[in-house]
Amino acid sequence: MTPALSQANGAILAKKDDINPRWYPSYHLAPQAGWMNDPNGLSWFDGYYHAFYQHYPHAPVWGPMHWGHARSRDMVNWEHLPIVLAPEGAEDKDGCYSGSAVVDGDQLALIYTGHKFHGQPCDDNLFQVQCLATSRDGVSFQREGMVLDTPLGVHHFRDPKVWREGEQWFMVVGARVDDIGEVQLYRSDDLRQWEYAGVIGRADADMGYMWECPDFFPLGDQRVLMFSPQGMAAKGYANRNLFQSGYMTGQWQIGGEFNVEQPFQEMDHGHDFYAPQSFETPDGRRIVIGWLAMWESPMPEQADGWAGMLSLPRELSLSAQGKLRMNPVKELESLRGEPRPWSVSELKDQAVTVETHAEAMEVCLEWDLSQSRAETFGLRLGKGASIHVDSQSQRLVLERDYPEFGLCGYRSVPLPAGDILSLRIFIDRSSIEVFVNAGEYSLSSRIYPAMDDRQLTLFSQHGQALVHQAQAWVLAD
């Protein structure tokens, strides 16, 4: 282990037992201490799922990026492993930025962005290059240096996603070219020598100045281009976060252009979901995990010695209309305790407490929209969070109200068509993830309830609401 890695891992060992656990997640992957952002290198290798992530081990703030590492047999129970990359080479002296992992024979290969300044930190002195590190055991990695240099005249060039197709390797990289976001394509025979193969996608005038964390994969009979655009303006209910994460679908063949059939759509409609990355499981499922936080947003857990977590793993599918659906992976059901039916069928201008302390819980809740006339009805967590129907706007709303932390406001989606509104809700100590009508929409947000403010309450205001079905499970960590 290099001195930089020893120092980084030593910092975690020194700090991890001192964090305040009040908001530390029960069943989401989070750093043992320090800072976490983008998921990296999601992969299956040597009998384990591997999740790497952007990490600063020395403090719960963004700093020179390292790669943290955890592995799991089931995508649910994670084992923390030593940090694998630290900024210590000429090519990554100012940070080991996001990237991906692929299995190459008997090796796991990490392809990541080396971040470096030539002189004082500023855009004109910034150079981002793509680097390689390999491992035979999936734990200790050998750095192999730069494999793709910064294109001439480009400074923001990062977040490589690599995959194999036919006899070649392909890589997409996010770029900022003349203040317009684009995704560039490269190909290689050996992961070490890369040649430019064109542009997969480029922003229109209102689609942002930088496309981060691109991913490009087949799903059903479509190709999905997933990315996180920076610089998109809000429009009505859409694009309300500082930065977005979304996708386009279309057709692509090697050597051809990506023909977009479904234009950009947001992937998650809550306050906190960024930089998603996908991978394929051994049984052929396409899984995506994102960062459950948002840039330049308050993170109260920083006062507790840690910051950031990853979303639940979600299985992707395509609807008949060609839109992505996201549903929690089936493995999460292994966390369930005994079912707890809620014996509430009708609410009329009332609130009924159904759980007194929801700290780690899954809820399945169905509302009968055809028989519900209340102006507002839904589920409230303590005083600060709710997922409710606004009948006047005909939208499903996820609202949080923690003014003491500067985290207030709501996000929403249209009410799905049909008489039954089906919600699958995952509550952890500082997060809520809502999946609507079998993955038609999802809304994910961080929450910060006090320890004595975690009761769950069903409510209706100004009219009647009918519960079609409701039950919950306590989730064991």
Residues involved in catalysis: 38
Query: Are 384 and 453 contacting, i.e. CB atoms less than 8 angstroms apart?
Result: yes
Cα distance between residue 115 and residue 92, in whole Å: 5
Pairing of strands 96-104, 180-188: unpaired
Cα dist. 433→57, 185, 367, 389, 430 in Å? 27, 33, 18, 16, 10
Structure tokens at 322: 């060609």
Query: Are 428 and 26 contacting, i.e. CB atoms less than 8 angstroms apart?
Result: yes
Maximum alpha-carbon separation in the chain: 67
Query: Are 67 and 111 contacting, i.e. CB atoms less than 8 angstroms apart?
Result: no
CA 275 from chain center: how many Å?
Answer: 6
Query: Are 229 and 217 contacting, i.e. CB atoms less than 8 angstroms apart?
Result: no
Cα distance between residue 111 and residue 132, in whole Å: 5
319's CB contacts (< 8 A; 6+ apart) are 325, 440
Cα distance between residue 45 and residue 279, in whole Å: 12
Q: Per-residue b/e over 380-408, b at no fewer than 16 CB within 10 Å?
A: bbbebbbbbbbbeeebbbbbbebeebebe
46's CB contacts (< 8 A; 6+ apart) are 108, 137, 138
